[in-house]
Structure 1
Amino acid sequence: MTPEEMVGVREDLEAFAAELFDGFFRADQRRWGQVYVRGLLLDGRRKSVEPMAARLGEDGNRQALAHFITSSPWDPAHVRARLAWKMHDVIGAEALIVDDTGFLKDGDASACVSRQYTGTAGKVTNCQVGVSLHLAHDHASAVVNWRLFLPASWDPASPDADADKVARRGRCGIPARVGHVEKWQLALDMIDEARTWGVDVPLVVADAGYGDAAAFRLGLEERKLAYAVGISCRHTAHRAHARPITPTYQGTGRPPVAKYPDKPQTVKELVMEAGRQAARPVSWREGSRPGTGRTGLKRMYSRFVALRIRPAGREIRQATQGAELPERWLLAEWPATEPEPVQFWLSSLPSGMPLASLVRLAKLRWRIEHDYREMKQALGLAHFEGRTWGGWHHHVTLVSAAHAFCTLQRLARDPKDTAQDRASTK
């Protein structure tokens, strides 16, 4: 936003910030929280402290802003909880989406920087990785929780610990209790924390980076949360009608465990056997290109195969302890122009779920790409120049607040469209 445009929304922002930072005991923290969010909203290529201070006019106190974001001892979880309460009601969230994004770095002094893979660059590179939790509906979404992934090289208890990186933990302000935890476990931790806030959404959506982890899916099932997650084509499963057979017990030794008589097949093999004729056309939302949709935009369209299967794999068999494997949805996208399926999902949604609804919910992950793009291109998500653990968490939390404010402003400008979007997805 330009300074002139910001004048028109200043009162809205002040009310939003007052609600968000109400838990701060100190007036100066409430003030600089609002100023920092306003700085993120102003036009400008860089959203680090110094260029933001230059654009903020009489509120452009660089030293105060730097102290607030890097050193001030406020708990970002309090802000995230208030953000989650507000956005859950406004959005009418029907799913939690989890994913991660990279923060590319030139040096190695920032907390948790390591050479690791990130989809942001599409390769292994020097970066931080943040795991995020989003509330989502077709018409809007908001990021409400974050974790900074700590690679094993930063964990003194790991056999892969790097002495130089471990030595930097103190300078980066990384709490002693923080160790290396897999990203899928960080996602479960964020979901648990959101539920302690009273934010309980019964569906989780994620890509194959999380869906491929059987422990993640089992964790969701233990929490009685439905899921629609991407998986790679190498996963194995039995057809839904398959049943285990228990060998006759001879009365000596350990009783035999029930086993399926046939070997499981890969999910790709199962879909290929069902054949192209099993694919059905589905249109699930309007895209961004001109077309003939309700808003003048092109409808997203493809062909999908949905099968009922029983996922196999060592972790699943161990969890069921020889009992019948649970029945799940296997969803595959098979465009008419492709010789084989191009994408796969596994879902615990009810067996009677219509194909169009199953596709729409599995595809809801597009909202997270929209959020990352807006936060990185317009709101300076990756522009934090500090090196501390606390500073990173403060910055991403306030970027999330700025993003939520933009979403609220958009919804307020077009409430009719929002109501129509909600009605069309029921």
Structure 2
Amino acid sequence: MSTRSVIQPASSIGQLEDPVGEFYGPLFASLPRRGQRATAMRYVHGLLTVQGRKTMRSLAEQYGGDAEQQRMQHFISNSPWDWMPVRQALRAQLQHSLEPQAWVVRQMIVPKAGNHSVGVGQAFVRMLGQTVNSQQAFGAWAASETASTPMNWRLQLPEAWVTDTDRRRRAGVPEQQAETFPGEAACRSVLDLVDGYRDADPLPAVLSVGSLDLVAALREFRAAGVPVMIQVGAGLQLAGADARLQNQAGELISASRLADSAGVLRRQVYWLDPQLRLSRSCAAAIRVMLPTPQGRLSLLLLAEWDRPGPKPDRLWLTDVTSRSTAELLRLSKLVPRVDQDFEAIAKDVGIQDFEGRSFQGWHRHATLASIAHAVRALAEAGQTRVGLDETALRAVS
């Protein structure tokens, strides 16, 4: 069955007493006015159905052209509504249907031609290997082996934006938004989402991002009660602390050398790739100590080998010390799951297509695009039918 047919609604949705439906109703409950909720639904519906680039004009053409475009423009850029309650509602809505295993943080690069879009600046993009004029944002994705969807976004501001009060005022950037480094924005994307929640079994955060202050990140997540797994480089200096290994005197050596010495700990692990094919690799979880100005932190170093050889292909540092090597490796494999869903779904529903210049407009578009992504991701996983038909849309107009 095609994606398009899967996301179409059940015929009874238009007859529901709450025409927004069980899925959309809780998501938009924080919007105070009926008209706002209707516009939000039409915006999401447009993101799901319009072909090509998702501009305000193309989304509005389905519902009356210029007049609807003005309503959408006002709703996204000027109408007073807070996007965080909507994102928190999306988190609550997907807690059971998605059954996420971790928060995966992914960087999003949005190339821009000019210099007026909020947060735009020249930055070296590691994945492209070049400097690009772009917006840089970090998304916290709820991820399982079978599906993932973005839940929260943090827009990084280059230093030129943080220090230019006039520029911030024109774009409506709030005073508390001041991350000049990618690592800060990456951490905040998760920490803002879980702020105020103290789950009995909190989901771990999985970060594979550059320019991260490792010690600061570990301490921030620990203070928030969020377990964390961070991809690290081969040269990171660590001290071995695993009683199962011999000839460890506690001296600092590179993470790569430490992994090489842990051959006895290697285990063959099976995991699902993003196409849900069974794959395998070798992994070892090694107890280590990370030196910090306040003392040494006790952690696990997870090393993975795609093929036989001394040097590991990937290295992760984590304070999740109660899980097996296989469980830890499967957590790390949620990163390619998110990467695939970003390319196949998030881009298609227009996550990068916002053309406005304001801070609040960017975040509101990202919020509604995340909802559209969730609809598509759950539908493709065969878990829900939450599309909107014309009857439902007219009912809330």
TM class by shorter chain equals 0.7 to 0.9
C-alpha deviation, 1:127, in angstroms: 0.5
C-alpha deviation, 1:230, in angstroms: 0.6
**Structure 2 match to 1:257:** none
C-alpha deviation, 1:90, in angstroms: 2.1
**Structure 1 match to 2:260:** 272
Change (3 A) 1:285 1:210: farther
C-alpha deviation, 1:53, in angstroms: 1.9
> Are 2:326 and 1:336 aligned?
no
C-alpha deviation, 1:134, in angstroms: 1.7
**Structure 1 match to 2:269:** 282
- Find 1:387's aligned residue among 344, 357, 374: 357
Deviates more, 1:123-132 or 1:387-396: 123-132
Alpha-carbon distance in 2 for matches of 1:43, 1:319 = 54
**Structure 1 match to 2:20:** 14
Unaligned runs of 5+ in 2: 386-397
- Find 1:42's aligned residue among 28, 37, 49: 49
CA deviations over 1:179-225 (Å, ceiling 9, x no partner): 23433333444434333464742411111527662210121222332
**Structure 2 match to 1:306:** 285
Q: Name the TM-score, length of structure 1 as normaliser.
A: 0.78
C-alpha deviation, 1:117, in angstroms: 2.8
SS at match of 2:190: helix
Question: Which amino acid is 1:62 matched to?
Answer: Q
Alignment of 1:352-363 (within 5 A): 353-363=323-333
SS at match of 2:301: strand
Alpha-carbon distance in 2 for matches of 1:286, 1:116 = 31
Unaligned runs of 5+ in 1: 157-164, 243-259, 289-296, 416-426
SS at match of 2:174: coil
SS at match of 1:155: helix
C-alpha deviation, 1:60, in angstroms: 7.5
**Structure 2 match to 1:71:** 78
CA deviations over 1:358-407 (Å, ceiling 9, x no partner): 21122222232133223443101111111111110010000001111223
Change (3 A) 1:34 1:287: closer
Alpha-carbon distance in 2 for matches of 1:170, 1:58 = 31
Q: Larger C-alpha radius of gyration, 1 or 2? A: 1
SS at match of 2:307: coil
CA RMSD of aligned residues (A): 3.0
Deviates more, 1:142-151 or 1:90-99: 90-99
CA deviations over 1:329-376 (Å, ceiling 9, x no partner): 11112232556222111122225x322112112222223213322344
> Are 2:274 and 1:319 aligned?
no
CA contact (8 A) 2:301 2:316 kept: yes
> Are 2:170 and 1:171 aligned?
yes
Alpha-carbon distance in 1 for matches of 2:326, 2:50 = 40
Alpha-carbon distance in 2 for matches of 1:302, 1:138 = 16
SS at match of 1:101: strand
Change (3 A) 1:298 1:27: closer
C-alpha deviation, 1:261, in angstroms: 7.3
CA deviations over 1:11-55 (Å, ceiling 9, x no partner): 389313332112111221111100000000004111111122224
Structure having greater relative contact order (Cα 8 Å, sep ≥ 6): 2
Alpha-carbon distance in 2 for matches of 1:66, 1:33 = 11
CA contact (8 A) 2:98 2:378 kept: no
Question: Which amino acid is 2:192 matched to?
Answer: E
C-alpha deviation, 1:412, in angstroms: 4.6
Report the identity percentage.
Answer: 28
Q: Name the TM-score, length of structure 2 as normaliser.
A: 0.83
SS at match of 2:277: strand
Question: Which amino acid is 2:20 matched to?
Answer: E
Alpha-carbon distance in 2 for matches of 1:192, 1:272 = 34
**Structure 2 match to 1:160:** none
- Find 2:108's aligned residue among 95, 101, 104: 101
